[in-house]
Amino acid sequence: MSETRYTDQHEWVRIDGDEATVGITRYAADQLGDVVYVELPEPGRSLGQGGEAAVVESVKAASEVYAPIGGEVTAANAAIADDPAKVNADPEGEGWFFKLKIGDSAELAKLMSAGQYADFLKGL
């Protein structure tokens, strides 16, 4: 049973037991435009909640991707490093960035539900 939560920086995190998969939202991908480069964290790296985790660049802009929740990186999505267009094509699926082993699941309480994130977008 998985659950997806969102940050106000437009990352999503899908929780499966003690594993979290992280990416950027459809809104973020659309705002960035054509993604041409991603830089992903090395597996084994330890990230704090809100820490800089990855970089995503479109033709015009470079943006940071922050860790929605703390933990140790267990995998990075090599497919988007090879073909960054996957981030625009399927940002909340195939275009995931990295996976984490969750450090403290209490940190999830600070994140938004899908409904809350949808309301947050309406306010932008």
Partner 1 sequence: MTEGRAIPAFGSRANLEALDLASTEQNFRKTPLHALHVELGGKMVPFAGYEMPVQYPTGILKEHLHTRASAGLFDVSHMGQAFLSGDDPARALERVTPADAIGLREGMQRYGLLLNERGGIKDDFMFSRLAGERDLYLVVNAGTKESDFAYLEDKLRGAADVTPMPDRALLALQGPAAGAVLERHAPGIDALNFMNVIRTRVAGAPAIVSRSGYTGEDGFEISLAGADGDRVARALLAEPEVLPIGLGARDSLRLEAGLCLYGHDIDETTDPVEANLVWSIGKRRKLDKDFPAAEEIMSRVFHGSSRRRIGIRPEGKAPAREGTEIADKSGRIIGRVTSGGFGPSLNAPVAMGYVDSRFAADGTEIDLIVRGRPMPARVAPMPFVPHRYKRAQIRNER
Residues in the site for partner 1, rule: CB under 8 A? 9-11, 24, 27-28, 31-34, 36-37, 39, 55-66, 124
Q: Closer to partner 1 at the Cβ: 39 or 94?
A: 39
Count of H-run helices and E-run strands, the chain: 4, 9
Taking the complex as a whole, the smallest distance from the CB of residue 19 to partner 1 amounts, in Å, to 21
Taking the complex as a whole, the smallest distance from the CB of residue 18 to partner 1 amounts, in Å, to 24
Taking the complex as a whole, the smallest distance from the CB of residue 33 to partner 1 amounts, in Å, to 6
Q: Is the dihedral of CA 26, 30, 35, 41 positive or negative?
A: negative
CA distances from 20 to 17, 58, 88, 108 (A): 8, 25, 21, 11
